[in-house]
Amino acid sequence: MYDLKSIKNKSTLLISADNNVKNLVNNYKIKYDKLINLEFNTTDEYLNELVETINNKELKIILYSNTHFFGKILPYLKKNIVVSWIYSNSIANLASPYNYFWFKTIFDYYNRKIISKIIVLDEELFKILDKQSIPTDLLKLNIKSNKTKKSKFSNYNTIGIIATDYDVYDNIYNQLSACTFFQEYTIKLLNPMIVTKKFCERFNIKYEVCNSFDDIIKNNYINLYCSFSNTEFSYFIKSMDMGIPCILGNTNLLNDNNTLKEMLVLKSDDDINEITEKIKNIKNNYNLIMKEYKKWRTKYEKNN
């Protein structure tokens, strides 16, 4: 556990209960001084000490992830403590009762003036909250420099799927179905469940098990991030920076570059034929894609 005694006055604490916070701080523009990542076995005594530390100093608090721990912190903070909450899901995720419950919880804390700002990753959700005059920040990707490699199409025989099979919004089975047309390639999957392995075996899909998305992204012919709710665009950036084309689910990220939008963005997230056609077209258009990506990345970096 983080030593609370080292927290300085007038600093900003980022408090999380999600290991994915490492991806957040590495890839998004977020200002904080100390990170406190609560573990599953965090005790009430530690939480009480955390509350006492916050109340005895002049601090700003940023919360990340959805966890019951925050229910043991927020109601006990002094009213002058400035608290923001990062909600990382997209607007599509609100169709899930579980995700909607957490968003409603955050919204309730805002209405009760316990938190002062909601921070989001999804631009569409940001626009909706902004229309309702809710003080909101949209986190931008932290692109420091142009690292695009020279255009050279890879000869790797793997396709990476940036998705999990336990989340319906990740659309993994449609992506796998499209991959049945490319049986010369091995598909890299993140810790697949038994049912996913059986699916691959049933349709003669060769697969390789990886332990992280970072492992999945590397050294591939192509990457697929065809999620219904893709907000972790750092995966797209990493893939393209490695010179590996990455097909995206329907998103407005590339709206200002018609070439990339046409070649990499799906019009329909669940259209297996469209995923298949985009995979087929990558090789013939590789140099053009990388040329346009370099232009887009430079512009994005400058504007953000």
CATH number, residue 211: 3.40.50.2000
pLDDT level of residue 147 (50, 70, 90 thresholds): low
The residues, any chain, with a CB within 8 Å of residue 246's CB and separated by 6 or more, are 162, 222, 223, 224, 225, 235, 236, 239, 240, 264
**pLDDT, tens digit (0-9, with 9 covering 90-100), for 231-284:** 788 899 999 999 999 999 988 889 999 999 999 999 987 899 999 999 999 988
Residue-level pLDDT at 115: 94
Residue-level pLDDT at 220: 94
Instruction: State how many domains the chain has.
Output: 2
pLDDT at 167 over 80: yes
Burial label for 227, CB within 10 Å (0-12, 13-18, 19+), is buried
Is residue 256 within 8 A of residue 161, CB to CB? The reply is no
Of residues 118 and 304, more confidently modeled = 118
126 and 214 share one domain: no
Residue 187 lies in a domain: yes
Residue-level pLDDT at 149: 55
Q: Write phi, then psi, for 136 (nearest 5 degrees).
A: -135, 145
164 and 131 share one domain: no
Residue 153 lies in a domain: no
Burial label for 61, CB within 10 Å (0-12, 13-18, 19+), is buried
56 and 171 share one domain: no
Is residue 227 within 8 A of residue 259, CB to CB? The reply is no
54 and 132 share one domain: yes
Q: Nearest Cα to 229, choosing from 207, 263, 253?
A: 253
- Across the chain, what does the average pLDDT equal? 90
258 and 172 share one domain: yes
Residue 222 lies in a domain: yes
Of residues 108 and 1, more confidently modeled = 108
Residue 200 lies in a domain: yes
Residue 199 lies in a domain: yes
Residue 150 lies in a domain: no
Q: Write phi, then psi, for 128 (nearest 5 degrees).
A: -65, -45
pLDDT level of residue 302 (50, 70, 90 thresholds): confident
19 and 134 share one domain: yes
pLDDT (average), residues 59-65: 94
User: Containing domain of residue 260, as a range?
Assistant: 158-303
